[in-house]
Structure 1
Amino acid sequence: MTAKRDLLLFVALAIAWGTAFGAIEVGLATLPPILFAALRLDVATLLFVGAIAVLGLEWRPRTRGDVTAIAVTGGLMVGAHYGLLFLGQSHVSSAVSAIVLSLTPIVTPPLAIALLPQERLRAPAVVGLLLGLVGVVVIAVSGGSLGGQVVGVALLFVAAFVFALGSVLTERIQATLPVISLQTWAMAIGGGLLHGLSFAHPGETVPITAAAWTPATITALAYLSVVATAGGFLAYFVLLERVGASQLSLVNYATPVVASLVGWALLGESITLATIGGFGLIVLGFALCQLTTLWRLATPIAGYGPRRRSTAANGVVVGGNVYETGRETGRSPPVAPAAD
């Protein structure tokens, strides 16, 4: 991720997803959590349907893989994930919510081991998983009691787990639909499931009055649907194609920073040292889980890329490139670039 456009897009994605937790906090003040999550998906689905029409993309599922991918993505990565996220954040602050969800890349490797035979779990990843779990426990008890804080963190942990499970399961599915079409179906199905759960949930049966639709609530819903969901996923897919999943996974650790700053500056939320320490353990756990990938990404930046020696007696390696020193002039014309 060296191009300026990619860096700016990464920062924009981190801001869009990080500020989303603050918008959720605002909307939860007047709307029940499951219904709020369903409404967010409703508006985003309409926006994606418009994008499909404008771009002329194929939208009809044609294979069993398409149907399976829609069911897994809509049921787990959208429906269950967002429902648990909004329920969990109704018990904790936006910063805690974002931090616990950053556990997703840590719980993914053991699920991949269990479901994808070609995957192996190395010792550093095991230690990283344990550190991440310890970090979540530290955050859960940082509220000073075993009340709503623990309940909220537990719900958010399950939200991270089901998202990771869905992402691993989709690795085994051969779908033919374009990604935007697949996500549109997933959001529509996830929203429908959440509407059904909201209707059946005893805590959400109270009718929503006009007083609940405050300007702040409407703004929060619009921001979540347009900026965080539609705009955020668009930026995500562009970056996924340009920089790959390994570098893009780092956004999971930029969004909690943004969420914490927004919650502190605009919502008056406090950030305890225990919460910061728990986040540090989660980040360290992620680094151990992705040790090989992070090393491969960092070495070219630090100037420690692969090198090869010149076969010529008068060859010299500079910055990964092989040069042949001129015998008469002393100049060094390039021979061939080294493989990085």
Structure 2
Amino acid sequence: MLSNRLVTALAPAIWGTTYLVTTEYLPPDRPLLASLLRSLPAGLLLLVVVRRLPRGDWWWRSLVLGALNIGAFLPLLFLAAYRLPGGVAATVGAVQPLIVAGLSAGLLGQRITLRVGLAAVAGMAGVSLLVLRAGAQLDWLGVAAALGGAVVMASGIVLGKRWVSPAPLLATTGWQLVAGGLLLLPVTFLVEGPPPALTATNLAGYAYLAVIGAALSYSLWFRGLKLLAATEVTFLGLLSPVVATAVGWVALGQELTVAQVCGAVIVLAALVVAQTKGGSGHADHRVRGGRWRRQPGRGGGVTTRA
């Protein structure tokens, strides 16, 4: 449904503001600390609210998903944010829909349609126009971090679609945030040492990232992943670079060229094409238990793991 897509789209739109908050409100050169303070407090807050712990296989599944979606993704995200202009860092991840489509074909049995392939290529072309502007500095370590973030998040999306949690949404979100945060905790202190003295501005930035950028946005994202096909969800992530570029233009006075406007239009068009009927070429994949079953989809019956 359109309402489900719109609600899910709020998550990448929020993530598009991460780069502004990181560069303007957080202490410099602390990507691991930013990742830790974004994930662990948010996860603990959700666990206090739901008061439910994982059971059975979900102890290790939460750890795997938390490592992919949080423990590995957030440090790569913040490293890219520190080393690249916001629009550049956000748009490198546009390769993610193509990665998700490939992983979905192997792990979910999802057929890669021509529509999805063309939309993914168009999305990549659009974000490249967003990147190519005067004065943009491409730090290759930052580019590698952004690309690595796209790979691990794509893996988390597909596995999250395959492993459907029986627990409430906030519980599943909290488990992953806590698991990722706990993995980050020792690494943060070993690599970056104790946190520096934090100003009120720093604390406000971390609070925004934890409450809005993690607890709220990940809950919306995982909700969408439960209700929509994996490829539909990942294409919504293309909103993040568009929002990041728009925020950079409005809040930081960054130049917005005709090429960038065209790129944004192409990205939005690719997103719409991927969301139209038949765009995903696949039914909703859900996993409940360990049996394969037939589940009706847009194009007829498909085999899913139930």
TM bin (shorter chain): 0.7 to 0.9
1:86 to 2:74 alignment: no
3-state SS of the aligned residue for 1:30?
coil
**How far apart, CA to CA, are the structure 2 residues paired with 1:269 and 1:82?**
25
Per-residue Cα deviation, 1:195-238 (whole angstroms, up to 9, x for no partner):
3333343xx34x5432xx12221111011111222222344456
Partner of 2:252: 267
Whichever residue aligns with residue 108 of structure 1, its letter is V
**How far apart, CA to CA, are the structure 1 residues paired with 2:185 and 2:214?**
18
Partner of 2:50: 52
Query: Cα RMSD between the aligned structures?
Result: 3.6
Change (3 A) 1:230 1:106: same
Give the alignment's TM-score, normalised by structure 1.
0.67
**How far apart, CA to CA, are the structure 2 residues paired with 1:133 and 1:8?**
22
Q: How many residues align?
A: 280
1:62 to 2:49 alignment: no
3-state SS of the aligned residue for 1:171?
helix
Partner of 2:167: 177
3-state SS of the aligned residue for 2:254?
coil
1:222 to 2:207 alignment: yes
3-state SS of the aligned residue for 2:14?
helix
TM-superposed CA distance for 1:26, in Å, is 2.4
Per-residue Cα deviation, 1:98-157 (whole angstroms, up to 9, x for no partner):
3333443332111111323x2222334344444455556666665668751x33233112
Change (3 A) 1:10 1:112: closer
8 A contact 2:173–2:222 mirrored in 1: no
Whichever residue aligns with residue 51 of structure 1, its letter is V
3-state SS of the aligned residue for 1:176?
coil
Change (3 A) 1:157 1:36: same
Q: Pairwise mapping of residues 242-261 of structure 1 onto structure 2 (< 5 A)?
A: 244=228, 251-261=236-246
**How far apart, CA to CA, are the structure 2 residues paired with 1:100 and 1:175?**
30
Identity percentage of aligned residues: 28
8 A contact 2:133–2:260 mirrored in 1: yes
Per-residue Cα deviation, 1:260-316 (whole angstroms, up to 9, x for no partner):
2222222343445555555556556556655644599xxxxxxxxxxxxxxxxxxxx
1:72 to 2:59 alignment: no
Give the alignment partner of residue 197 of structure 1, picking from 170, 187, 205: 187
Per-residue Cα deviation, 1:148-189 (whole angstroms, up to 9, x for no partner):
1x3323311221121111221233335433332222121112
1:187 to 2:177 alignment: yes
**How far apart, CA to CA, are the structure 2 residues paired with 1:120 and 1:239?**
20
Whichever residue aligns with residue 65 of structure 2, its letter is T
**How far apart, CA to CA, are the structure 2 residues paired with 1:8 and 1:146?**
33
**How far apart, CA to CA, are the structure 2 residues paired with 1:284 and 1:7?**
15
Consecutive unaligned residues of structure 1, counting only runs of 5 or more, are 297-340
Partner of 2:16: 18
**How far apart, CA to CA, are the structure 1 residues paired with 2:179 and 2:244?**
28
TM-superposed CA distance for 1:7, in Å, is 9.0
Change (3 A) 1:84 1:227: same
Partner of 1:120: 111
Whichever residue aligns with residue 186 of structure 1, its letter is Q
Change (3 A) 1:160 1:49: same
Give the alignment partner of residue 32 of structure 2, picking from 31, 34, 42: 34
Whichever residue aligns with residue 217 of structure 1, its letter is N
Whichever residue aligns with residue 243 of structure 2, its letter is V
Whichever residue aligns with residue 148 of structure 2, its letter is V
1:109 to 2:101 alignment: yes
Whichever residue aligns with residue 209 of structure 1, its letter is P
Whichever residue aligns with residue 198 of structure 1, its letter is T
8 A contact 1:22–1:262 mirrored in 2: yes
Higher-Rg member (1/2): 1
Partner of 1:157: 147
Consecutive unaligned residues of structure 2, counting only runs of 5 or more, are 282-306
